[in-house]
Amino acid sequence: MTGNSVKLNNGILIPEIGLGTWKADKTGIVAETIKNAVEAGYRHIDCAKIYGNQREIGQALKEVNVPRKDLFIVSKIYQNKHRPELVEGALDEILEELQLDYLDMLLMHWPYALKPEVGTADFNDEDIEDVPVMDTWKAMEALVDKGKVRAIGVSNFNKAVLEKMLPQCRIVPATNQVEIHPYNQSPELVKFCQDSGILVTGYCPLGGTKINVMGDNLIKHIAQAHVCTPAQVALSWSLSRGIAVIPKSTNAIRLKQNLHRVTLTSDEKRMIGNIKQHERKVDPSRDHEQLRWVFHEDEAQCPVI
Ligand SMILES: NC(=O)c1ccc[n+]([C@@H]2O[C@H](COP(=O)([O-])OP(=O)(O)OC[C@H]3O[C@@H](n4cnc5c(N)ncnc54)[C@H](OP(=O)(O)O)[C@@H]3O)[C@@H](O)[C@H]2O)c1
């Protein structure tokens, strides 16, 4: 594999920089992005059923000249497939869309469930249903036994949920994919995951489209000192914390730039670590108050795990 890879808790290697594919969904653009990305050196591709672009990604992956074993393909089951009897079928759909016979890693996209008939990211409060996380997780563990996925992990899991979950797991999640950037640093969660052998993968590592991480004066200042881009500073800061990153870009030049890691000084890392601005891009409780526990575990009780 090209670039640096890190070892997951089951011994397999994952490239520390992957390609995000959320909102890379205009027909034609995704295929071109995947081809440009693989040519630039990306081998880790972060997908999800709900992004709605897996078929085009799968087609593009067939057309790039890289052996399957050199790619690391991640996808996520959507919340409407948490009932244990639906989990294998959910994976089969993902594999069919991506035109693959196995996934490198399958994630539980969120720690809450939706009714099976809900198929879009827009849902109503009544669509939320109780399915214990462990029921879904056990069904995911069985997929590892069957050889259909090489690793399993979670996404958007807080510390309280993980603390209840881990003693019940036969397979410890290989990763927890969560929002991490200089304006949402989550030091306690990162430490807990890393102490538990769980790789943290940072999504929205550039702050996404709405959070102005790349316009932050300190980040810009550090970028000037290294003659690099603010994006490279933000990504390198996460990498220096032992966090894998999955920046999304559909621009061939930015794709290449985002693969280049810079070595930040300890002073620079400390200064970024001291940024007081706090903004989270993704939070389901903005639309659904009963999901407040997902990212505000101090204010709301987590459900049965
Ligand atoms: N697990 C989850 O619940 C979850 C949630 C959100 C995201 N994710 C994953 O994380 C990935 C990344 O998150 P994200 O896409 O929201 O945000 P992001 O990667 O932090 O930011 C993407 C934005 O930054 C721009 N950009 C990329 N490289 C740049 C550069 N070098 N300089 C300036 N601008 C740059 C992109 O525009 P251009 O494309 O024009 O370059 C795009 O507008 C997603 O694609 C998805 O795979 C997972």
pLDDT tens-digit profile of 49-84? 999 999 999 999 999 989 999 999 999 999 999 999
Question: Which residues have CB under 8 Å from 60's CB, separation 6+?
Answer: 30, 31, 32, 34, 35
Let me know if residue 305 belongs to a domain.
no
Ligand 1, atom 27, lies closest to the CA of 249
> What band does 260 get if pLDDT is binned at 50, 70 and 90?
very high
For the cut 90, the answer to whether the pLDDT of residue 118 exceeds it is: yes
Q: Is 44 annotated as a binding residue?
A: no
Let me know if residue 302 belongs to a domain.
no
Q: What is the mean pLDDT of residues 169-177?
A: 98
Q: How far away, in angstroms, is 57 Cα from ligand 1 center?
A: 16
Ligand 1, atom 43, lies closest to the CA of 209
Task: Determine the residue of 46, 179, 204 to mutate for testing ligand 1's pocket, defined as the one with the most ligand atoms within 8 A of the Cβ atom.
Answer: 204
Cβ–Cβ < 8 Å for 184, 213: no
Indicate the number of domains in the chain.
Answer: 1
Is the CB–ligand 1 distance for residue 20 below 6 Å? Answer: yes
Q: How would you label 83-115 residue by residue, b for 16+ Cβ within 10 Å and e otherwise?
A: bbebbbebbebbbebbebeebbbbbbbbbbbbb
> What band does 299 get if pLDDT is binned at 50, 70 and 90?
confident
Q: What was the pLDDT predicted at 120?
A: 85
Cβ–Cβ < 8 Å for 193, 199: yes
Q: What was the pLDDT predicted at 55?
A: 96
Q: What was the pLDDT predicted at 40?
A: 97
Q: What was the pLDDT predicted at 302?
A: 82
Q: What was the pLDDT predicted at 30?
A: 94
Let me know if residue 301 belongs to a domain.
no
Task: Determine the residue of 26, 157, 206, 253 to mutate for testing ligand 1's pocket, defined as the one with the most ligand atoms within 8 A of the Cβ atom.
Answer: 206
CA dihedral 164, 195, 76, 84 (to 10 degrees): -30
For the cut 80, the answer to whether the pLDDT of residue 167 exceeds it is: yes
Let me know if residue 67 belongs to a domain.
yes
> What band does 25 get if pLDDT is binned at 50, 70 and 90?
low
Let me know if residue 140 belongs to a domain.
yes
Residue 175 phi/psi, 5° resolution? Answer: -145, 160
Let me know if residue 300 belongs to a domain.
no
Q: What is the mean pLDDT of residues 29-41?
A: 96
Q: What was the pLDDT predicted at 2?
A: 53
Q: What is the mean pLDDT of residues 234-249?
A: 98
Q: What is the mean pLDDT of residues 185-198?
A: 98
Mean pLDDT lowest among 12-26, 78-92, 133-147, 184-198: 12-26
Q: Mind telling me the catalytic residues? A: 51
Q: Where do runs of H (alpha helix) occur along 209-265?
A: 217-226, 230-240, 252-258
pLDDT tens per residue, range 81-117: 999 999 999 999 999 999 999 999 999 999 999 999 9
> What band does 300 get if pLDDT is binned at 50, 70 and 90?
confident
Is the CB–ligand 1 distance for residue 37 below 6 Å? Answer: no
Task: Please give the residue range of the domain that contains residue 218.
Answer: 5-294
Q: What is the mean pLDDT of residues 180-184?
A: 98
Let me know if residue 303 belongs to a domain.
no
CATH number for the domain that contains residue 63: 3.20.20.100
Let me know if residue 224 belongs to a domain.
yes
